[in-house]
Structure 1
Amino acid sequence: DVGLLVGSTPAAARKPMLASLAAGDLPVLIGTHALIEEGVQFKNLALTVVDEQHRFGVGQRLAVRQKAERTPHFLSMTATPIPRTLGLTLFGDLDISILGEMPPGRQPVKTRMVPPEKRADAYTFIRKQVNAGRQVFVICPLIQESDKLGVRSATQELEKLQRDVFPELASRIALLHGRLKSAEKEAVMAGFQRGDVAILVSTSVVEVGIDIPNATVMMIEGADRFGLAQLHQFRGRVGRGREESWCFLFTDAEDPQSLKRLQAVVTNQSGFDLAEIDLELRGWGDLAGYRQHGKDFKMASLLDAVLISDAQSEAVRLLDRDPALDGEPALRRQLSAYRQVFALD
């Protein structure tokens, strides 16, 4: 009664599955972005659950709605709400539930910002962790070197760690990125899960869906190149066992805005708190359109609960007075556009 649809699902299995789905004989379908492709049709879609919501754009979420004649119930889950979603919850357009407790036995991940002069100390700490039988993630913004961006790449980092930093661990340091073939990626991850690989150098492909309880260190190169949500997701790859874990944010940045963002990650363990900071820094985008961040109008404070409550009360009074908004044609047009993209958010 449960189907699985992903990009690699063979045509021989895909065709009868989609036929069963369209006929209403398959009650539950789990999948990746493959679920929103053309040809995937539900007879009576009643509930949509989106995990890792921040990985989907507005248009992709809207595509799910178009799979049904009526708008289905919608449950969105994420450790790091995007600014647009948080903005919608602030205006009362989304109900929200927060799981504020960690799973039993887990400890908060200790997060530190590492300037260039402290790099050697961090390497010494990582060596001690590996010698104690633990494992390490090393995240880089790029696969290959770039003269324009001037940040460390995954391939560069692999060579440096094997040759200069941890030569005694060279055979236990592996590379993972999106350009590897599926079989190569699976082999690397299998080695990491078995413990054969002690240090995994990777790009952002490990941001979600990776569970290695023995990994206790997340080392992020060029941390200022990542967004708050990504940094929090990376941090969530460690601290999944009972051992104490650390997240090191390596940066050469000196501009105040970048350092402010990184300090927010150091100070805040909650993804929701980080989402609020992200909202303040980037804005919530176009709530009646497709942009998921940016500032379209000014408020004394983006998180001014009293002002938002007053605006909601005024909206209710206006609708009681003029339900069809006949006297507010510009507002009626804006709401019509809003409904089109808000259907699943």
Structure 2
Amino acid sequence: TAYAIVTTPPKGRDFGNLQVAYMAPTEILAKQHFESFIEYFSHLSINIGLITSSGCKKFPSKVNPTEPTDISRTQLLKWVKESRMAILIGTHSLIQKSVEFSDLAYVIIDEQHRFGVKQRAKLQQQSLKEESAPLPHLLSMTATPIPRTLALTLYGDLDISLIDELPPGRTYPHTELVSENDRTRIEKKIESKLQEGRQAYVVCPRIDEPDPDDENALDVKSVEAEQDRLEDVYADFTVAKLHGKMKPDKKEEIMNTFNNGKIDILVSTTVIEVGVNVPNATTMVIENAERFGLAQLHQLRGRIMRSSHTPHCFVFADSNAEKTKERMQALQEALAGTRQSGISDTGMEALKNIKMVEAARSAAKDIINNDPSLENFPVLKELLDAYKKRLHLE
């Protein structure tokens, strides 16, 4: 959808100097989008930029018009300010004060739930030179909708498109809640999948082993220890690790190697939670699942739903707490992740009082149509101005 909107100018018009900003929560995802945008837009005579904390790139290169090239941050920001960069993709680096758009017309926020309200608002307001300037169009995308999104959809002027089916040929994952007693059986299942040529993720909540002298340290699986253990269990296969402490270049190298099929098992933290796209990886083991939020678990499981092969997700949870059991059961039963967490059913039902919502929206539209400056509603104007300073009406 985002690609279609960006590449479709109004009928009878070209893009002129209009700009698009695309914000993703991680460097890995931002770089994947940069590569995808190049693939989709290489036929257009436009510049595409990438800005992250580890460096900047632009497409096309002057030397080789079919390839991207490195560019200094100063030069990239100069091009953005001069409207010479039609599309800029990045992480949180996009919302720094030094990034100044000249004609920002469209903002895309990927994995909306990973950004705070103020961060999302800041990006949309990047090009506003005066208060009367129109806000850029906004597209927020998420596979994990939050109650705020529903509230804004019902009460505000936010349209929603729900993709509630899988792409053709894909299947829902087989999710199995398992215990330590199932370990040997699960490892044999994984080995059979690896022998078929598939790949697997193993997700751990820690990077390093805890200090043995620290009595308060959590006794949970770590990436470092699990990689060592799995190298013995799967001696005939390649096991690698990935976590947030690695340098960006190293993370990119590991992901490229895994994507090319040269790594069979990737032991990782939740750094793979967002946007990682490796269709051949169809098996996932989540260790100490009680340490992750339900939204994280849905996102993690989504990594193995990228091909026509049946995905298998094995969830180990050490806690016997009733709350943990309920959350794990919700993961197993809710395929699309449509259940909300953190807000009562009563509250959600109140939001869905359609007659009240329609009456409120109708009254608001009448006021705006007849008195857009709110001159006859000074108290309402004062309240609205106050809310604008605190809220992002996205």
TM-score, normalised by the number of residues in structure 1: 0.82
1:339 aligns with 2:388: yes
Q: Please report how far the alpha carbon of residue 317 of structure 1 lies from its aligned counterpart in structure 2 after TM superposition.
A: 4.5
Partner SS state of residue 141, structure 1: coil
Decide whether the 8 Å contact of 2:117 with 2:392 is kept in 1: no
2:356 pairs, out of 306, 310, 314, with 310
Partner SS state of residue 168, structure 1: coil
In structure 2, do the counterparts of structure 1 residues 158 and 333 end up closer, same or farther at CA, with 3 Å as the change threshold?
Answer: farther
Q: Tell me the equivalent position of 1:9.
A: 56
Q: Please report how far the alpha carbon of residue 221 of structure 1 lies from its aligned counterpart in structure 2 after TM superposition.
A: 0.7
Q: Please report how far the alpha carbon of residue 314 of structure 1 lies from its aligned counterpart in structure 2 after TM superposition.
A: 4.7
- Give the paired residue count: 321
Decide whether the 8 Å contact of 1:4 with 1:29 is kept in 2: yes
Q: Please report how far the alpha carbon of residue 267 of structure 1 lies from its aligned counterpart in structure 2 after TM superposition.
A: 0.9
**Which amino acid counterpart does residue 159 of structure 1 have in structure 2?**
D
Q: Tell me the equivalent position of 1:197.
A: 263
Decide whether the 8 Å contact of 2:191 with 2:234 is kept in 1: no
Choose between structure 1 and 2 for higher RCO, CA contacts under 8 A separated by at least 6 residues: 1
Distance 1:311 1:104 in 2: 36
Q: Tell me the C-alpha RMSD between the 2 structures.
A: 2.8
In structure 2, do the counterparts of structure 1 residues 344 and 168 end up closer, same or farther at CA, with 3 Å as the change threshold?
Answer: same
Q: Please report how far the alpha carbon of residue 74 of structure 1 lies from its aligned counterpart in structure 2 after TM superposition.
A: 0.6
Distance 1:299 1:137 in 2: 34
Report the structure, 1 or 2, having the larger helix content.
1
**Which amino acid counterpart does residue 348 of structure 2 have in structure 1?**
L
Q: Tell me the equivalent position of 2:318.
A: 252
Q: Please report how far the alpha carbon of residue 118 of structure 1 lies from its aligned counterpart in structure 2 after TM superposition.
A: 2.2
Q: Please report how far the alpha carbon of residue 321 of structure 1 lies from its aligned counterpart in structure 2 after TM superposition.
A: 8.4
The one-character-per-residue Cα deviations of 1:320-342 (angstroms, maximum 9, x if unpaired) are: 6897598895x765543333344
The one-character-per-residue Cα deviations of 1:302-325 (angstroms, maximum 9, x if unpaired) are: 134553542552575588689759
The one-character-per-residue Cα deviations of 1:69-94 (angstroms, maximum 9, x if unpaired) are: 23211111111123322332243442
In structure 2, do the counterparts of structure 1 residues 83 and 132 end up closer, same or farther at CA, with 3 Å as the change threshold?
Answer: same
1:74 aligns with 2:138: yes
**Which amino acid counterpart does residue 56 of structure 2 have in structure 1?**
T
Distance 1:318 1:103 in 2: 39
Q: Tell me the equivalent position of 2:175.
A: 111
Partner SS state of residue 96, structure 1: coil
Distance 2:244 2:140 in 1: 26
In structure 2, do the counterparts of structure 1 residues 42 and 327 end up closer, same or farther at CA, with 3 Å as the change threshold?
Answer: closer
Partner SS state of residue 243, structure 1: coil
**Which amino acid counterpart does residue 9 of structure 1 have in structure 2?**
C
In structure 2, do the counterparts of structure 1 residues 220 and 327 end up closer, same or farther at CA, with 3 Å as the change threshold?
Answer: same
The one-character-per-residue Cα deviations of 1:110-155 (angstroms, maximum 9, x if unpaired) are: 1121123323221221121112221110001111234533221111
Q: Please report how far the alpha carbon of residue 66 of structure 1 lies from its aligned counterpart in structure 2 after TM superposition.
A: 2.9
Distance 1:338 1:299 in 2: 26
Q: Tell me the equivalent position of 2:12.
A: none
Distance 2:355 2:310 in 1: 42
Partner SS state of residue 109, structure 2: strand
Distance 1:30 1:219 in 2: 32
In structure 2, do the counterparts of structure 1 residues 195 and 139 end up closer, same or farther at CA, with 3 Å as the change threshold?
Answer: same
2:189 pairs, out of 116, 120, 125, with 125
Distance 2:255 2:149 in 1: 33
Decide whether the 8 Å contact of 1:115 with 1:250 is kept in 2: yes
The runs of 5 or more residues in structure 2 that have no matched partner are: 1-45, 58-69, 211-215
Q: Which deviates the most, 7-16 or 36-45?
A: 7-16
**Which amino acid counterpart does residue 123 of structure 1 have in structure 2?**
E
Q: Tell me the equivalent position of 1:150.
A: 219
Q: Please report how far the alpha carbon of residue 20 of structure 1 lies from its aligned counterpart in structure 2 after TM superposition.
A: 2.4
Decide whether the 8 Å contact of 1:3 with 1:17 is kept in 2: no
Distance 1:337 1:47 in 2: 26
Partner SS state of residue 285, structure 2: strand
In structure 2, do the counterparts of structure 1 residues 310 and 247 end up closer, same or farther at CA, with 3 Å as the change threshold?
Answer: same
1:26 pairs, out of 67, 85, 90, with 85
**Which amino acid counterpart does residue 3 of structure 1 have in structure 2?**
I
